Each structure stands twice: as structure tokens, then as C-alpha cells.
Amino acid sequence: MGNSFSRREFIKISGLSLGGLSLGAGFYNKSSVPQIKEIAKGAGASISGAVKTPTVCEICFWQCAGWVHAKNGEPWKITGNDADPNSNGRLCPRGTGGIGAYLDEDRLRTPLIRKVVDGKQTFVEASWDEAFTVIADKLKKIAEEHGPECVALFTHGSGGSYFKHLLRAYGSNNITAPSYAQCRGPREEAYLLTFGEGVGSPERTDIRDAKCIVLIGSHLGENMHNTQVQEFADAVGQGATVICVDPRFSTAASKAKHWLPIRPGTDLALLLSWIHVIIKEKLYDEEYVAKYTAGFEELKREVAKYTPEWAYPITTIKPHVIVETAREMARHRPSTIVHPGRHVTWYGDDTQRVRAGAIINALLGSWGRRGGFYYPNKASVPKYKYPKYPTPTKSWRDAFPDLYPLANLALANGICDATIPKADKSCAFKGWLVYGTNLLHTLPEPKKTVEAIQNLDLLVAIDLMPAEITGYADVVLPECSYLERYDDLRALPGRVPTIALRAPAFEPKYNSKPGWWIARELGIKMGLEKYFPWKNFEEYLETRLSKVGLTLEEMRKKGVHEFEDRYPLYFEEGMQPEFDTPSGKIELASSLLASYGFDAVPRYTHHEQPPEGYYRLLYGRAPTHTFARTTNNPLLTDLMAENEVWVNKTVARLHGLKNNQSVVLVNQDGERSTKIKVKVTERIRHDSVYMVHGFGHTDKRLKRAYMRGADDTKLISRVKVDPIMGGTGMRVNFVTFESAGVS
Amino acid sequence: MARYGMVIDTKKCVGCADCVVACKTENNVPDGYCRDWIVEDVRGAFPDLHMEIRSERCNHCENAPCVRCCPTGASYTDEDYGVVLVDKDLCTGCKACIASCPYDARYVHPEGYVDKCTFCMHRVREGLDPACVAVCPTKCMYFGDLDDANSEVSKLIRSRPNHALIPEAGTKPKIFYLL
């Protein structure tokens, strides 16, 4: 690319077309939406004759297996695969609405290259070959001048595996996903430290057989992680006790026997106080603790001060409620789960908070026990054999000597920080490949993300939709939707080992291509053809399937295959209790944390509370949307087109806010949101407001989502970083209201 | 004539709206419309709150005002299943049925006729559950013959406390919500 940009402008409207094809408005052609004939009335309307193709859902990370149904060659619907233990034949609303991802007329249609035309930066439509040439040339230059390690990959979703492979073949191992340091990283580290194993995804929580489920801010049912919610509903239906700790009366709270509307930022005080009560009243599983755990005496000593009376003024949860709920948890042990949560990057001491919950699970003996945490099985399918990758000599870690010692995965925010040149940081990144993750809505402190982007020589975005990140890219590569492509076999942990196949149900629309094709063609252009020995993905899949005695044809017929060989799920069924910790035991006091100078037993730390007139910004999920990536899906937008800010009734009165009126939220740093409607409700505390994440898109190319609702990420202009593993605590921002008329 | 109805367990329902999406794709309901929907019925004041989450739709009333008031006979009760349907060829879009429905279950389809939940009769006739029932991840919905004492719906109604919506309207609704 001959152009060099002193400042990368966000290209809002992709426009300039040298080929005469406009990507602007006017593309929505109603007749392109398949019209299914009215079949509701009249006898004999047959639903047979439809064809179905196996798929694995890509609308979220749960990866449910299902069937894509087409009728008369047109897309019809997606249903779950009955043979899949990860969906039990039932998808969630997003998976059911997955057809919308295929139909969305705002999809990226063809490769785009940033160029300066008439003094203005714009996207010019390009052929795949042109786009690959630009990228390959630039990557070659970066490798020569700075080393291949100065290129990073940000990834989310199944297609990311091809780009990981490509980047490793190129010579960099700087591969990151915001799902670690902006989501479940602290949880994985906390469980590793305690039990020597992470929780994983799907979570190994045995909710199906749980008698008591304790949720710390986990809003199951609103976060629609399919089989987890299925099991939660089953457990509730069977009379399981739910203890729900949440400043908001969530869906899960409405199912709870005990709703504890805790003051945000004080969950650790409650957890420590529960540990205090469990030890003081000898409610724990003495045999289990003696046999499997280490550090009990240290734990006992450390929590002696955390009485319910101490916790009351901090948490606002009354002492008798703390005692009563602790007893309730113990009554049902070992079938009690203190849920480890999933998005847990809240306050910067998140590893320790999650560890406190893990300690309760250990005290109640629920790890490795029915109704607690099971030992997952995972299908073992040999990997495709590739030549050895070059060995990188630099890593993102070089930019953070002595920091975040227990980070087991690369930090997305860390790579972002290390892209901004500073005297004390080495390996300043020069190139980003961004696959399937809209970093402007994913990483906190979006201004910093934009600043980092200005320092890049190359930014490539590979995506389905023209989200904000693509507006900053130098080259945009349109991937086709999951309904139009093969992907690698799904092999997830679960009670039974299975694999599932995603096969294309439709031809790729427009000039979009599958991720595997994009990575392979780009690899060949970069001279890395020896890393792509397979010609197409059928060949790749046949090779892998043949190693376990299966064929692609068979998998196309059934979608899911279950393997016979499996380990027992629980200690009581013969699973060997082995813990991969320094002591070989469940560590109630962590020797590893102590060796790095951190607290071996979690200690309560005070977090700043909002100043007068300001409210803590809480955010969460809606069952109908995934992050910021589905808010333009025509089917799902029809159900929820924008988010609302939940405001306590008394607070609303104080600020003169009416239900449904539009406001602008302004945070402690003066960051302003787009307009958002107020939901006046009794369902939230007076010191917090809440919104669903993923709205407030500012990219005009997303016609349905543009400026609908507000983006919480924009208001997350500060974070508290977890010193243990580098996670970014994001619930540390405070907002107030401004009448929307002003903006 | 059978008397088909639905039982929905509000204890299990999380209000995810999968029933709404499944209905839309199954029946090609146009953008901006739906045949079923979610209600979050919140009572009380912070922190003493109660919420009932309901998946709602046409109640396929036994004493259906929409059928009685329809001037063309387009709205009718199916003789085999006791399900209230609309013959779109007979419908003139006069909206009398919409005005008469206490549940606001009907809408005018962009093509001019009145549309609503059919209990997915095209599926039921093939021995399948309605799409909303079949898709529900929490399995909180049940469909069956209320006249059959051994059907799951009948058993649930007998064994668990439940309520129908707006019974005072006297329409004899056939959807029951378990408490």
C-alpha cells in the first residue's frame, strides 16, 4: 500500500467504489428476504421435504450443535440437534435467530482497502488478491524491520484458529482474546490456584444435580448460556435453593429463595464472612477438608475477623441473613455450587474474589462431587500435522517485566498498551490482525484503543459485520457467516465426549469467504504454503475424522458423534482426586500466590463508592443478544432493538427522570454516552444503574443498530487492573444523567 | 372435538424469548410483529419484590369473542383441536376481532389480513409440538388435550397451583400458568 496515514480516520461510510458498486444506503432489498408461504392454515400443509445441514452455532461461544433447515432452497430455520449434550436439541433465542446473521443485508460484502482519494481517507473495494497482496507486503516489511513478533492477533470465535495458525507460521505467538483479561481470566486463575484446574467452557458446574446454587452477580437466564440455563431451570423446577447476590433483581433473583441485594464492590466481604460462619459453626465437610485440602488453619486465622456483624455495614446484608444463607449452603453440601461466574473482571481484585468462592466450594466438598463440580470428558481427535513453527524471540510479556506473573494467556489490553510506544516498553506492536472481535466495544478505555491503532503500520479486520473496528482497519476482509462455511470439529469439555460438525448450508453470499480459505490464501501469498498442505476444508476434516474412524459423510448425516470411552465424573464414581497445585492438595491458602507476594488467603479490600449524584455503572447481558455482535441481526433486533438504563424509582424522582425518557449518561471523566432510554424500576439499588452491553453502535453501516441505545464501553474510561493476572476491572465507573436535549 | 391448550411453568421460565424467535422463523412472521411475547410482571417495592415471567400468546378461548364478533366468519374454532384460527382469504381486516380480544393477541399482517398464534397447527397435525414449545430451552411449556385426563397438561393443572389470564373477561382461556 503506497499510502501511509499519519492518522487513521474512522471511516464511517464505506463508500468509494471504483467498480461502480455502491456500498452505501439502498441495499436493503426486501424481496431478498425469503418468503415462506403461509402454511399455518389448511390441512396437509407439509413440513417435510425440507433439507437440513448440520451446524454448530457461532452466535455465542457455547457452540451448540444444530440443524439448518432450508425449504425450496431458501433458508427457513435453525433447530437444536437432539444428539448434542451441549444443546439437548434446543437452542437459545440467539441460536434460533442465527438465520438473521446470514440474512443481514448490512454484512461486509467484499474486501476493502483504505486509500486516500482526493485527500480523503476512504475504503476502496478490492479483489481478494489485491487485499492479500497489500497485507502480505506489509507483514513482510514489519517482519524485516521489527520482527514478526511485533504483529499480534486478537481473536474470538471458531475461525480464529486458522489465523492463530497463520500467525504462528509467520513467527509470532502474540495471540490474544478479550475473553481472558476482559472476562473470565480471573476465574480460570483462581480455580487453577485453588484446585489445580480451571473451570473451562462450558463450565463444569453440575447444576443439573445441584441442591443449592449460589450466584454472585451471575445472571443466568439473562446470560443465555444454553445448557447451563437449561440445567438451572431444571434445578429450580426440582426445588433447588437459589441464593442470588446481585444489586439488581435479575431473572435469577426472581427464582431465588434468598435475594441479597448487595452494595456493589463488596462481594468479597460477604464471601469472607460466609467462610467465617462456615468455619466457626463447623459447617464444612471435615473429612473432605482433612483429606484433600491444605492451608485450613491459615484460612481459619485469616477469616476470624470477618464476622457477619463486620460485613453488615460494608455489604448492607444483615448478619442474620449471612448466617442463615451460610447454613443453607452447608445443609445441601456437597451438592452446593458457589458459581464461579464468567464475566468476572469487576474491581481489580477479581482473582481473589473468585478464589473466595472457590474456597467455599472446597470447604463444602463440592469439587469432584455430584451436584457440585464434575470432572469433564473431552473427545480426543488427533490434530492435523503441520511443519514446526518458527520460534518467536519476543513476547507481549517483555513489555511488562515483573507484572501480572500469573497471567497464563496474553492480555488483550496489554497488547493494546504495548502498541503505544513508551520508553519502558519493548516490542512495540506494528501490526494487528483482528478476527471476529470488535475491540472498540470489547476493550475498556476505547480512547486508548484508538490511540494504539494510530501507531500501527497495519490493521487488518476479518469480520462478518462492519463494526467499529473495521472502520479503523487498513484492510477489511469479509468472512461469510457460520451458515456458509465449514469449520474445525467442535470438541468441548462436558459430561460425555462428543465432536460436532459445522457444514455449509448455503453458498457464501456476496464476495465473502470462509475463514479457513482466507487464512490459507493469505498464507500462500506470504510464502507460507507449507503450513497449508490441505487444498480445501473437506480434505482437512476427512484427515482428522479418519484418525478416529469417522468420515465426513457420516458426520454430515448426524452432526454429532459421541465417543464411548470416558472418565468418571465424580470422586464417588471413581475419579482419582488429584490436584495440580504446588502442594498436590486443594489450596485454601495459596502457596503460589504467597510466593509472588500476594495474599495467600483473600483479604477484603475497600473499593471506592460513587460520589453524591453519581451511580455505579453496572452492565450485563440480554438473552437475545451476544456482546455487540448481534445488535444488527434483523431477527434479534426485532426482539430488542436498543438497551435501557435501569434507574431506581427513588433515584429517578430525585433527578426528575420519567420512564422511557431519553438521557445522556456522563461519567466521572466527562465521557458521554449516546442517548439511552430510562427504565424506572424497583429492580435495582439506589447506588447503581444498569444497562445491557452491546448497543450504541456508531458505525452507520449498521443500519438497524446505529445510535440505538448506549455503549457502556465508552463510559468505561478507567479500570482497576488485577495485579495477579492483569484482568481489567471495569465496574469502577460512575455516571450521572443529563437531559438528552442538551447533547 | 379435542380441547388443546397450553401449560407454562413460570417457575422455570427465564423470559429468554426463544419462543418468540422460534415462532417468527417457523411461521415467517414479518419484521416488527410477533405472535407471542414475554411479560415480566413485577410486584412489590425494593427489596421485597416478586416477578412472574410469562410467555404470552392467543389463549385460544373456548368462548372466543373474536370468533363471535367476526362479520365474515374468517375467525373460527377448528373442529378437531378446538384451536382458534383465521382464514385469511375470508378476512377483510376490519379489526373487530382485535378490538374484542382481551389479550391483544392479534395484529394486522402487512398483507392486510389479521394474524395471530395458530398453536402451529401445521406441526400439531404432524404430531409435533408447537414451535415455541419444542424450542424452549427451559422446557417450561407443555401442549396437549385438556379433555384428556392423562395428558401432561391435565395432570399439571390438577397437581400444581395455576392461573389463567384475565379470567374475569369470561372468555375461558386455554393457557394456564403454573405458579
Chain B residues whose CB is inside 8 A of the A60 CB are none
Per-residue burial over A285-309, b if 16 or more Cβ lie within 10 Å, else e, is beebbeebbbbbeebbebbeebbbe
Neighbours of B27 (CB within 10 A): 23
Burial of A110 (0-12, 13-18, 19+ CB in 10 A): buried
Q: Which of A30, A32, A77, A316 to mutate to test the interface with B (most CBs of B within 10 A)?
A: A77
Residue B17 touches partner A, C-beta closer than 8 Å: yes
User: What pLDDT is recorded for position A8?
Assistant: 78
Answer yes or no: do A682 and B44 touch at CB < 8 A: yes
Answer yes or no: do A638 and B31 touch at CB < 8 A: yes
Please state, rounded to an integer, the average pLDDT across all residues of chain A.
93
Answer yes or no: do A639 and B20 touch at CB < 8 A: yes
Neighbours of A34 (CB within 10 A): 15
Answer yes or no: do B88 and A230 touch at CB < 8 A: no
The gap from C-alpha A599 to its chain's centroid, in whole angstroms, comes to 28
Taking the C-alpha atoms of residue A316 and residue A318, their distance in angstroms, rounded to an integer, is 6
Taking the C-alpha atoms of residue A202 and residue A247, their distance in angstroms, rounded to an integer, is 26
Q: Could you tell me the pTM of the whole model?
A: 0.94
**Which one is the CATH code of B4-178: 3.90.800.10, 3.30.2090.10, 3.30.70.20, 3.40.50.720?**
3.30.70.20
pLDDT tens track for A556-589: 999 999 999 899 999 999 999 999 999 999 999 9
Chain B residues whose CB is inside 8 A of the A638 CB are 24, 31-32, 34
User: What pLDDT is recorded for position A507?
Assistant: 95
What's the complex ipTM?
Answer: 0.96
User: What pLDDT is recorded for position A21?
Assistant: 36
Chain A residues whose CB is inside 8 A of the B14 CB are 220-222, 224, 229, 232-233, 251-252, 255, 623
In chain A, ranges of CATH 2.40.40.20 domains: 615-739
Domain A615-739 has CATH 2.40.40.20: yes
pLDDT tens track for A242-287: 999 999 999 999 999 999 999 999 999 999 999 999 999 999 999 9
Q: Which amino acid is at A722?
A: D
Chain B residues whose CB is inside 8 A of the A261 CB are 46-47
Of the pLDDT bands very low, low, confident and very high (cuts 50, 70, 90), residue A399 is confident
Three cell numbers, residue A361: 466450594
CA nearest to A634 within chain B: B31
User: What pLDDT is recorded for position A716?
Assistant: 98
Arithmetic mean of pLDDT, A131-151: 97
Chain A residues whose CB is inside 8 A of the B28 CB are 35-36, 38
Are A121 and A11 a contacting pair, CB within 8 Å?
yes
pLDDT tens track for A483-523: 999 999 999 999 999 999 999 999 999 999 999 999 999 99
User: What pLDDT is recorded for position A22?
Assistant: 33
In chain A, ranges of CATH 3.40.228.10 domains: 191-376+570-595
Taking the C-alpha atoms of residue A114 and residue A5, their distance in angstroms, rounded to an integer, is 9
User: What pLDDT is recorded for position A425?
Assistant: 65
User: What pLDDT is recorded for position B146?
Assistant: 97
Pick the closest to residue A296 from A353, A369, A362 (CA basis). A362
Of the two residues A18 and A651, the one the predictor is more confident about is A651
Burial of A61 (0-12, 13-18, 19+ CB in 10 A): buried
Could you please report the per-residue DSSP string of A618-661?
EEE--TT--TTTSTT-HHHHHH--S-EEEEEHHHHHHTT--TT-
User: What pLDDT is recorded for position A44?
Assistant: 29
pLDDT tens track for A16-67: 444 333 333 222 222 232 322 223 222 223 345 689 999 999 999 999 999 9
CA nearest to A35 within chain B: B28
CATH architecture assigned to A191-376+570-595: 3-Layer(aba) Sandwich (3.40)
User: What are the contacts of B38-41 at 24+ separation with CB within 8 A?
Assistant: B40/B15
User: What pLDDT is recorded for position A20?
Assistant: 34
Q: Distance (Å) from the C-alpha of residue B10 to the closest C-alpha of chain A? A: 10
User: What pLDDT is recorded for position A424?
Assistant: 67
Tell whether omega for the bond before A202 is within 30 degrees of 0, i.e. cis: yes
Answer yes or no: do B31 and A634 touch at CB < 8 A: yes
Residue B121 touches partner A, C-beta closer than 8 Å: yes
Give the CA distances from residue A364 to residues A191, A329, A330, A590, in Å, rounded to whole numbers and listed in that order: 15, 8, 6, 18
